[in-house]
Amino acid sequence: MIIQRGGQLELLDNGRSSQDVVNFVNARRALLDTGLSLLRKHVQQHQAYVLVVRNDFPSAACIVAAAKLQHVCILLPASRMHLLAYVQQHTGINVLVDATNELVQGKMKHVPWIEKHFGKNGGVGMLTSGSTGMPKIVACSWSSMMAQGNATQELMFPNCPCRFAVASSIAHAYAINALFAILTSPHGDMSELIMANGMNALVPFLSQRVPGKTTVVFGTPGTYLPLVQLTPVKLYADLVYSAGVSMSDSLKLKLRESFGLNLLQNYGSTETGGIAAEGIIQSDVKLPNHCVGHIWPGAQVRIEPLAIGMVCRPGEEGELVVKTPWQCSGYIENEQVNGISRDGFYNTNDAGSVVSNHILMGQRLRAPVCFQHNKLHLFIPRHEIEDAIATHPSITDVLIPHTSSSAIVILIVSTLPLDQLEQHVYKTLPSIPQNIQVRKVDHLFCSPAGKLIYCL
C-alpha cells in the first residue's frame, strides 16, 4: 500500500513484494506458442471473455494470443477481482478465463455491442485506476495496441533485441505496452521478458550487464519504493521508466547513486496510451524538473482554458487535452461504447503547459468546492483551500476528497489534536463555509502509481 505523508510517498507495510519472477527468452515465440495453445484449448474463436491477469507467463501469453486471434477480452487484474460483477454488468460478458489456473467459468451469451463496435477484429478492455471514483472500462482495438507497441520498439530498441523488465501490472495500458513492443519488433524472437510485482525482485536480473540487448525497465513509484530500502547494489539498465506521479528529487538521487538507475518519466493514461516520455527523443532543451518528457511522435497536445471555478497554479497554462494515434475508442458502459469526446481529443484533467514539444506537468484538476451562503452559490478551488490550511507548520498534508456527503470533508495529516485543527480551519477559511467536517488522519492513500485517491 502506497501512502502520502509529509508530502512524500511511503510504503505502509514493509514493502517486500512477492519475489516470484517470470523470465523467458525468445519472448515473442514463447508468448505466441503458449498463448495460442491455452486459448484454443479453453475458448472458441471470437468468444468474448473476462481475462484474469497476473504478472505471470500464462496471463502475458493469453493477452498476446488474444490479439493474434482477434478475440475480445476484458483484462481484470487478479488483485481487483472484487470488481468482477461490476465488469460483467457493464460489458454483458459472463465468461471468465483464468489462464494461470486453467479455469473457465460462465456461459457465452449474445452481446450486441461487441459485434457492432469491434466487428471481426476483436479488441481489449482495460480498467482505469479509479482514483476519482469507480474505475471506467476503456475499449481499445488491437490495431491501436500494436501501433503503440511498434512506436515503442522503434524509439527504444530499434536495432537490437531488448530485455524488457516489467514491475507494473500488465493489465494496465502502461506495462502491457511491453508485450506489444516485443510482438511488433523485428527482434522480438530474440528479446527477453522479465515480470515481477516489484523492482526489488528484479535485482538479480539487473545486477549484470547483458551485451547486445537494450534493457528497458517499466515500473511505478509503488514498485520503486521497495528497491530503495535494499542494500545498495549496482544495477544495469539503459532506459528506466516510472509512470504515475513524478517521484521526488531525493528518491531519484538515491536510485541513481545507490543503484545506478537514471529514472525517466512516462506520461499517459488508459484512454490515450503514451502521451510523452523522457528518453525517446534526444533534445538539448533545458527544462524544469516537472517536465514529463517529449511528446510521442504523432500525438497532439493542446492547452485549453480551465472550466469555470477552476484556477491554474503558478506555471500552469491550462488543461492538457490530447489525441494520440493509439488511443481508445471509448468507454464500455451498460453494454455500449461511448466516445471519450466529440472531437477525438481527450481531456486529461491534468493542468500543465507545453514547451518545445515537451510537457510540463502540473496538478490534477478537480471540481471546486461549492459553498452556499443565503441564496448564493460560491465556488472555491480545492487546492486553494488545501494550500491555505497547509500553511500551519504542524500540518504536512491536506486533502478535500470527493464524497457523497453534503458536508465538506477535510482530511489533515498533523501532530496537532483535532480541536486545534478545527480552530485553525475555521480561522483560515472565510466565515461563509458551513457544514465542514475536519478529520485528522495518519496519512493519505495513493494508488500504486502514487496518485492520491481523491474519493472516500
We report the CATH number of the domain holding residue 397 as: 3.30.300.30
Q: Quick one: 7 and 61 in the same domain?
A: yes
Quote the strand ranges of 85-172, DSSP E.
96-98, 103-105, 123-127, 137-141, 162-166
User: Which run of H or E residues covers position 282?
Assistant: none
* Dist. CA 363–CA 448, nearest whole Å: 18
Q: Quick one: 286 and 408 in the same domain?
A: no
Annotate 348-376 with DSSP letters as a single string.
Answer: EEEEEEEETTEEEEEEEP-PPEEEEETTE
Residue 47's Cβ-side half-sphere holds a number of Cα atoms within 13 Å equal to: 20
DSSP state of 3: E
User: Which run of H or E residues covers position 88?
Assistant: helix 84-91
State the cell numbers at 61: 501469453
Q: Quick one: 398 and 249 in the same domain?
A: no
Q: Is residue 27 part of a domain?
A: yes
What's the pTM?
0.93
State the cell numbers at 134: 469507480
Q: Is residue 146 part of a domain?
A: yes
| Cβ proximity of 40 and 74 under 8 Å | no
Domain of residue 314: give its range: 2-364
DSSP state of 428: H
Sequential pLDDT tens for the chain (456 residues): 789 999 999 988 754 445 578 887 799 999 999 999 999 988 866 589 999 999 999 999 999 999 999 999 999 999 999 999 999 999 999 999 999 999 999 988 889 999 999 998 999 999 998 877 889 999 999 999 999 999 999 999 999 999 999 999 999 999 999 999 999 999 999 999 999 988 888 999 999 999 999 999 999 998 899 899 899 999 999 999 999 998 888 999 999 999 999 999 999 999 999 999 999 998 888 888 789 999 999 999 999 999 877 898 888 999 999 999 999 999 999 999 999 998 999 999 999 999 999 999 999 999 898 877 778 888 889 999 999 999 999 999 999 999 887 788 999 999 999 999 999 999 998 776 668 899 999 999 998 889 899 988
Q: Quick one: 59 and 172 in the same domain?
A: yes
Residue 394's Cβ-side half-sphere holds a number of Cα atoms within 13 Å equal to: 10
User: Which run of H or E residues covers position 69?
Assistant: helix 57-69
Q: What CATH number is given to the structural domain containing 69?
A: 3.40.50.12780
* Dist. CA 93–CA 346, nearest whole Å: 27
Q: In terms of DSSP bridges, do strands 8-11 and 2-5 run parallel, antiparallel, or are they unpaired?
A: antiparallel
Q: Quick one: 307 and 347 in the same domain?
A: yes
Q: Quick one: 354 and 422 in the same domain?
A: no
| Cβ proximity of 173 and 126 under 8 Å | yes
* Dist. CA 165–CA 213, nearest whole Å: 12
User: DSSP H helical segments within 234-378, as ranges?
Assistant: 249-259
* Dist. CA 438–CA 85, nearest whole Å: 34
**Structurally, how many domains does the chain consist of?**
2
156-171 b/e (C-beta count within 10 Å ≥ 16 → b): bbeeebbbbbbbbbbb
Q: Is residue 185 part of a domain?
A: yes
* Dist. CA 51–CA 65, nearest whole Å: 12
Alpha-carbon distances of 103 from 31, 32, 249, 358, rounded to whole Å: 19, 19, 45, 46
User: Which run of H or E residues covers position 133?
Assistant: none
Q: Is residue 342 part of a domain?
A: yes
DSSP state of 423: H
Tell me which of 302, 334, 364 is where a domain ends: 364
pLDDT for 15: 46
The maximal CA–CA distance of the chain, rounded, in angstroms, is 72
pLDDT for 148: 98
DSSP state of 188: G
Tell me which of 317, 335, 364 is where a domain ends: 364
Q: Quick one: 323 and 416 in the same domain?
A: no
Closest CA to 337 of 115, 68, 50, 67: 115
Q: Quick one: 403 and 309 in the same domain?
A: no
State the cell numbers at 85: 460483477
Cβ atoms < 10 Å from Cβ of 281: 15
